[in-house]
Amino acid sequence: MKVIIAEKPSVARDIAAIVGATSKKDGYIEGNGYAVTWAFGHLVGLAMPEAYGFTGFQRENLPILPAEFTLVPRQVREGKEYKADPGALRQLKVIKDLFARTDEIIEATDAGREGELIFRYIYSYVGCRTPFRRLWISSLTDRAIREGLQTLRPGSDYDNLYLSARARSQADWIVGISASQALSISAGSGAWSLGRVQTPTLAMICSRYLENKDFTPQTYFRLKVHTAKDATAFAVLSADKYDNRSVADQTASTVTTAAELTVTSVVRKEVLQEPPLLYDLTALQKDANKRHGFSADKTLTIAQGLYESKFISYPRTGSRYISADVMEEIPHLVATLRAHPKFGRYIDARPDTRLNTRPVNDAKVTDHHALIITEDPARGLSADQQLIYDMIAGRMLEAFGESCTKENTAVTLDAGGVHFVAKGSIMLHPGWREVFGASQEETADEDITVLPDLTEGEKLAVRDTEVQEKQTKPKPLHSEATLLSAMESAGKEVENEEEREAKKEAGIGTPATRAAIIETLFSREYIVREKKALVPTNKGLTVYLAVRDKKIADVAMTGAWEAALAKIGTGDMDAGTFHRSIEVYAAQITSELLDMAFERQDNRQSCPCPKCHNGNVVIYNKVAKCQNEVCGLTVWRTIAKKELSDTQITSLLMNGKTGVIKGFISSKTGKPFEAAVAFDADYKTVFSFEDKKGKPGSKRKSR
């Protein structure tokens, strides 16, 4: 008898149907010489510190570095203790009994790093020594399973992948437990959570939040002139920006007096825009967040369901390319979409049926190729499943479609010595952009307009001149889409698609784990969603402010660890060397965390919260925060470049308003002013101005 072990019961049922196992037993399906069983994800994991004799949070125990790690069945929490999950124990007994009765095991867990870890931990925990072979497939269609079973590979071929997975698992244990205990000891009270990837991710969210909040907008002015040629009205903008309104007004007067614009140059350039690459998981999650507001975890859950329903290829992929042999299937897959209500028209209307080969690159396909659909028709999908399926199917059509051709025009003009510019873009051949019916390129450049046919030396009448007052804007708060990009490139801002691909190996987390990392930050109550923005809570900011200059928050270092894990997976780095470096790192970060001065509540001034009336507001060096996480009241010490004293903050909290404070600096004029600071109805700080008779005057938002 051969035993096949899958990662989930649903996958086991699909495999059982292929091999002819039809008799359902307790925890497995048997028949035709096979027994097909399953895990429930991670049935086995690393034991907690108590298993190694480390009880409680003791400074002298840190960092905790087990000489040998112990594997235990999946744990569930009962009160303050962790106990073995009864369901996990039952299934492990089934697996152990089956392994003892067989002469060959076929490993059919998900074909990736975590799938390998799930099987190897079970294999090791039950003490099995029976040889095993590996089923490695990129989709769960009947054909893919049959072909995979005919080309099983020795389990030893994936030893390096397992070593990489085990190294990741043990590194996260050492760093997460040692750092969390060190911070909790330093804080003196409460339990605080840090992690190898979790904390740098929190750091990116918090640093962007503080950068956004502390941003001082600068006012500038720009001229906008309306003109027209024939039936086409359009506007042009001044090439220069003005810091002073009086200068802008004077320049506008010069333009009005000139009464006409002279076209000084017209530059036209034909641009070829290549199709985008196929989706990997991270790219899919980013686009689903931008277009549909889906969280990374929701997108992954939907994609995993589509995979298990045999409609798409393996979703936890980091590649945006396919291999040459998979390319042979693409024409057939494209043909299956002819009946699709959204894409059939595009497929039938294509004048050139040749497929673009840009996404074909064997060297850039590692464990799995990019996301594509399968030959199985996708029927009976929910609304959300249909959205994700259509994104994957549509991107497949785009990636293998024709290039988009457009003509970009740059025009310069002059009016009374004042220079103006205008940009226009015309789609000559939509190509791949026709897949979703886009007639124009989506662009964030608000300066692009529809231009008439202009020639150098041409005169145009000035119809109207306006002075636009604008302000510089901070970088927006992170959304899940922008955070995923930052995680993928280890915090470096990269716009070019090829450059992003090149930096993937130095990203933090993996496509398979990033959604879980973000969800962990939510579950720890370190961040919340405000519409699409990710905003740190008081608790999250407290952690960040404590560790932001420590190694545990270093994004680049975490990216280097990910690159090292990838090298272990390919056999280019020794797992033991990596483990020793993690132990050194753990010693460094625990030393830093234990030696730092954590801002505790017990040695800080505090007063009752005026907003929730339940919590206490503690005054820290940079901020006053309510300790009731649900409340969220926050008062920043520095407002309009003026640092409030503890007494002034206490007055605001106790009375709802401070006295008049001098020394604020206007963000618009740069001039000093005086005002009281008060709370508005939502307990946001505002400036309160008194008139000359001492009566309350106007209010405006403070910064």
Q: What is the mean pLDDT of residues 623-627?
A: 84
Q: Strand runs (DSSP E) across 117-231, as ranges?
A: 132-134, 153-154, 219-229
pLDDT tens digits, residue range 99-122?
A: 999 999 999 999 889 999 999 999
Is residue 134 pLDDT above 90, yes or no?
yes
Is residue 621 pLDDT above 90, yes or no?
no
Q: What is the mean pLDDT of residues 226-246?
A: 94
Is residue 697 pLDDT above 70, yes or no?
no
Q: What is the mean pLDDT of residues 76-104?
A: 90
Band (pLDDT 50/70/90 cuts) for residue 503 is: low
How far are the Cα atoms of 135, 142, 157, 531 from residue 139, in angstroms, in the given order?
11, 9, 20, 35
162 is catalytic: no
> Which range has the worst mean pLDDT, 25-34, 85-94, 188-197, 296-305?
188-197
How far are the Cα atoms of 671, 677, 685 from residue 674, in angstroms, in the given order?
10, 10, 15
> Which range has the worst mean pLDDT, 116-125, 455-464, 494-503, 555-564?
494-503
Q: What is the mean pLDDT of residues 38-63?
A: 92
3-state SS assignment for residue 263: strand
Q: Determine how many CB atoms are found less than 10 A away from the CB of residue 441.
A: 16
Is residue 693 pLDDT above 60, yes or no?
no
Q: What is the mean pLDDT of residues 552-577?
A: 91
Is residue 77 pLDDT above 90, yes or no?
no
Cα–Cα distance between 333 and 95 in angstroms, integer?
38
Contact (Cβ atoms closer than 8 angstroms) between residue 410 and residue 267: yes
Helix (H) or strand (E) holding 564: helix 555-570
Q: What proportion of the chain, given as a percentage, has pLDDT over 90?
A: 67
- In the sheet where 685-690 sits, what is the strand order? 661-665, 672-679, 685-690, 696-701
Is residue 472 pLDDT above 50, yes or no?
yes
Is residue 584 pLDDT above 50, yes or no?
yes
Contact (Cβ atoms closer than 8 angstroms) between residue 219 and residue 381: no
The pLDDT value given to residue 438: 66
Phi, psi for residue 685 in degrees, rounded to 5? -80, 140
pLDDT tens digits, residue range 411-446?
A: 999 999 999 999 999 989 999 999 998 654 555 556
- For residue 515, count CB atoms less than 10 angstroms from its CB and return exposed for 0-12, middle for 13-18, buried for 19 or more: buried
Half-sphere exposure of residue 82, counting CA atoms within 13 Å on the CB side? 12
pLDDT tens digits, residue range 646-670?
A: 888 988 998 889 988 988 888 777 7
Q: Strand runs (DSSP E) across 167-275, as ranges?
A: 219-229, 232-238, 260-273
Half-sphere exposure of residue 182, counting CA atoms within 13 Å on the CB side? 28
The pLDDT value given to residue 490: 80
Return the higher-pLDDT residue of 468 and 77.
Answer: 468
Average pLDDT of the chain is 90
CA angle at residue 236 from 234 to 242, to 5 degrees? Answer: 150
pLDDT tens digits, residue range 480-498?
A: 999 999 998 886 765 566 6
Band (pLDDT 50/70/90 cuts) for residue 602 is: very low
Cα–Cα distance between 656 and 610 in angstroms, integer?
8
Entry pTM: 0.79
Q: Which residue among the candidates 242, 279, 307, 314 is catalytic per the annotation?
A: 314
Cα–Cα distance between 35 and 476 in angstroms, integer?
54
- Give the list of residues 6+ apart from residue 694 with CB closer than 8 angstroms, or none: none
Contacts of residues 323-330 at CB distance under 8 Å and 24 or more positions apart, as own/partner, are 323/360, 323/361, 323/362, 323/365, 323/369, 324/360, 324/362, 326/369, 326/372, 327/355, 327/357, 327/360, 329/375, 330/355, 330/372, 330/396, 330/400
How far are the Cα atoms of 494, 505, 558 from residue 554, in angstroms, in the given order?
19, 16, 6
Is residue 144 pLDDT above 80, yes or no?
yes
Return the higher-pLDDT residue of 187 and 271.
Answer: 271
Return the higher-pLDDT residue of 7 and 500.
Answer: 7
Phi, psi for residue 496 in degrees, rounded to 5? -70, 135
